């Protein structure tokens, strides 16, 4: 079942919708569940909520999956360029998208200090890092990667689909080199071959992801790179990965 509740992001002084998926029998049991926090919550579950009319289909997927979860989907800011600002950990003056005023660290501090405690208090979660994951696509995928690096004491798993990493590889490398990454960390990253331009684009993306992979392996962590043949930068493509990353992260 999908619940929608309104939360308040204190540092931004803005209300925001949370899309929360609970097991269908949630109110009939006393079971506690692992939690995945995911970005762009409006695009995760139901097509009628999705920006482009197609979701990841996670509601149907979870109904059929053999392990129950709570998914907390954080809706993005739809005003102007604010999604880019909120989902970027870093500020850029001359990115492909123009100026980006990175607010990702502020957003994640709010998740840790306010949202996660609220979810753990009001829902039957297993609150430990071993049972807490993060996920997203595009800028949300970048945020998921950033989160599992910088906030590794809270998140042990990350699903980073079609992550917008090319513009911030130097920052991510520095982040990885300075961070403590627990050896039980599991990271899934993917991209589709139709998301980039030709063979050079594919090789560049592979090289970037291999550099990230190396840093996780140096810490003894687990990393899975999935290159999707003919995969595109959209929800229909990401829906096809649901079972792959859930199996890798949680089994």
Chain mean pLDDT for the chain: 96
Q: How confident is the model at residue 99 (pLDDT cuts 50, 70, 90)?
A: confident
Please give the Cα distance from 162 to 136 (Å, whole number). Answer: 9
Count other Cβ atoms within 10 Å, centred on residue 212: 22
Residue 165's region, left for phi above 0, alpha for psi from -120 to 50, else beta, is alpha
Residue with tokens 């990253």: 189
- pLDDT tens for residues 210-238? 999 999 999 999 999 999 999 999 999 99
Above 80 in pLDDT, residue 97?
no
Residue with tokens 């990175």: 102
Above 80 in pLDDT, residue 95?
no
Please give the Cα distance from 236 to 250 (Å, whole number). Answer: 22
Which residue from 141, 139, 149 is spatially nearest to 77, judged by alpha carbons? 139
Contact 185, 157 (CB under 8 A): yes
State the burial class of residue 31 (Cβ atoms within 10 Å of its Cβ: 0-12, 13-18, 19+): exposed
Q: What angle do CA 210, 214, 220 make, to 5 degrees?
A: 140
pTM: 0.96
Question: How confident is the model at residue 132, as a pLDDT?
Answer: 99
DSSP 123: S
Count other Cβ atoms within 10 Å, centred on residue 235: 21
| Domains, the chain | 2-250 (3.40.50.1820)
């Amino acid at each position: 079942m999908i619940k929608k509740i309104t939360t308040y992001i204190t540092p931004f002084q803005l209300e925001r919708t949370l899309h929360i998926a609970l097991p269908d029998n949630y109110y009939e049991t006393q079971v506690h569940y692992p939690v995945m926090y995911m970005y762009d919550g409006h695009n995760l579950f139901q097509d009628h909520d999705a920006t482009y009319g197609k979701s990841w289909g996670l509601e149907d997927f979870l109904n059929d999956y053999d392990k129950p979860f709570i998914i907390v989907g954080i809706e993005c800011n739809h005003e102007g360029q604010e999604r880019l600002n909120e989902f970027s950990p870093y500020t850029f003056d001359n990115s492909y998208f123009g100026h980006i005023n990175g607010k990702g660290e502020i957003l994640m501090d709010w998740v840790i200090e306010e949202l996660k405690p609220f979810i753990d208090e009001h829902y039957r979660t297993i609150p430990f890092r071993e049972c807490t994951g993060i996920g997203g696509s595009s800028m949300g995928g970048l945020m998921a990667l950033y989160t599992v690096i910088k906030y590794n004491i809270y998140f042990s798993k990350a699903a980073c689909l079609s992550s917008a990493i090319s513009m911030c590889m130097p920052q991510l490398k520095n982040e990885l080199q300075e961070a403590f990454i627990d050896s039980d960390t599991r990271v899934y990253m993917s991209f589709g071959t139709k998301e980039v331009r030709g063979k050079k684009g594919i090789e560049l993306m592979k090289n970037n992801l291999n550099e990230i992979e190396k840093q996780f392996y140096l810490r003894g962590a687990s990393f899975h790179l999935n290159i999707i043949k003919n995969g595109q930068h959209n929800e229909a493509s990401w829906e096809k990965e649901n079972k792959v990353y859930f199996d890798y992260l949680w089994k």
